[in-house]
Structure 1
C-alpha cells in the first residue's frame, strides 16, 4: 500500500507536515487523536497526500481518511519490514 521509495515518513515528519497545513506547532498535534476532529479537512488532507506522493509515498486519500491519527499514518507509511 505505501511504497516510500527511500523517503522516511517518521511520526515527527508527519506531525510537522500536519502542523504546517493546520497552522499550529507540531507538538500540538496529538499522536492518537482523530486529526479530522482537530480541524484537518478533506482539502488539507489531499494537500498532504499530494506532498507525500511527491516524496515517493504510494498512499491513497481514503486510506488516510479511514485511519486519521498520526500513529496510524506512521504505520501505514512505514517501509515494508520496518
Structure 2
C-alpha cells in the first residue's frame, strides 16, 4: 500500500507529538523538532509498511512533507 501525503503528515505529527493539522506541509520539519533519529525511525517504518526506497540523505536534505511526498512515492 502506497503512502499518501496525509499518512506522511500523520506519521510525522505522531513522531513529534503534534496534531497533524498543525503541521504545514511546506514547513521545515527540523523547526518542529524533527531530528536525524526521528527521520530514521520514520523511514524504517515506511520501508517496512510501504516498501519505500528513499534514502536518509534525501529526506534530511529537504525536511518538509511536500518535498518528501514524491521521494516516498506518495500520491494524494
Other-structure match for 1:30: 24
Other-structure match for 2:69: 74
Q: Work out which of the two has the higher radius of gyration on C-alpha atoms and give 1 or 2.
A: 1
Unmatched segments (≥5 aa) in structure 1:
1-6
Unmatched segments (≥5 aa) in structure 2:
none
Under a length normalisation based on structure 1, what TM-score does the superposition of the two structures give? 0.82
The separation in 2 between residues aligned to 1:77 and 1:47, in whole angstroms, is 14
Other-structure match for 2:42: 48
Other-structure match for 1:10: 4
What RMSD, in angstroms, separates the aligned Cα atoms of the two structures?
A: 1.2
- Cα shift at 1:36: 0.9
